[in-house]
Amino acid sequence: MLVTGTGTGVGKTIVTAAVAAAAAAAGKRVAVLKPGQTGGDSDETTIRQLAAPAHAATLVSYPDPLAPAAAARVSGLPPLDLDDVINALDESFDLTLVEGAGGLLVPMGPGWTMADFAEKTGAPAIVVARAGLGTLSDTALTLEALQRRGIAGYVVIGAWPAEPELVHYTNLDDMPGQLHGVLPEGAGGLEPGVFRRSAPGWLTPALYGTSDDPREDV
């Protein structure tokens, strides 16, 4: 299952950790794969700390906080290859979550994006969206791009504000697609044990959670 987003900084890593934790609580053996890490932070480390999946790995890391294809080019390091990402998938796990970089159509390597990965593997996509102004168009565009490729999309709001305003509530009502999760703002700062116990309640059963309607839980 691909974890993508409507842009950068929408909460993909924390949502990845939440789905991993919820699936593990449901008795699944979970693997997490980060094809390309850019910049100084390690998403793999964050996911390991919060969710403790059975396996987590990063294929390549680039020092500059750029799209992976550009980060490889400016650093002089080998670019990501789509086949290498696909070959890194391990079918012995019940669920493998593959966290992309930025949005769905960010260049990951020469001539391919995470949309190509999903299309080639048949993997459904978790679309992590913002709660605030501008999210409706961004989410609709991402879902449309997935639909054109025959890829199922599951929308999750990456960070619901502690003090929501009118725009957040109207976006909640008007969010394109079917909403499958709402994570509270600051979820990534929770103590790992609290995070793992809380994660199922943020997600619907389609994403291994226990919430029938995330809108009612905010």
Nearest to 99 by CA among 78, 130, 68, 77: 68
Are 38 and 67 a contacting pair, CB within 8 Å?
Answer: yes
In the chain, DSSP finds a helix count (H) and a strand count (E) of: 8, 7
Nearest to 135 by CA among 101, 100, 161: 161
Residue 28 bears catalytic tag: no
For residue 185, report the phi and psi dihedrals to the nearest 5 degrees.
Answer: -55, 135
Of the residues 12, 28, 34, 120, only one is catalytic, namely: 34
Query: Two tokens at 51?
Result: 């969710």
CA separation (Å) from 79 to 64, 87, 140, 179, 217?
13, 16, 30, 34, 42
CA separation (Å) from 21 to 14, 32, 47, 193, 194?
10, 11, 9, 10, 11
Are 207 and 178 a contacting pair, CB within 8 Å?
Answer: no
Are 114 and 106 a contacting pair, CB within 8 Å?
Answer: yes
- Which residues are tagged catalytic? 34
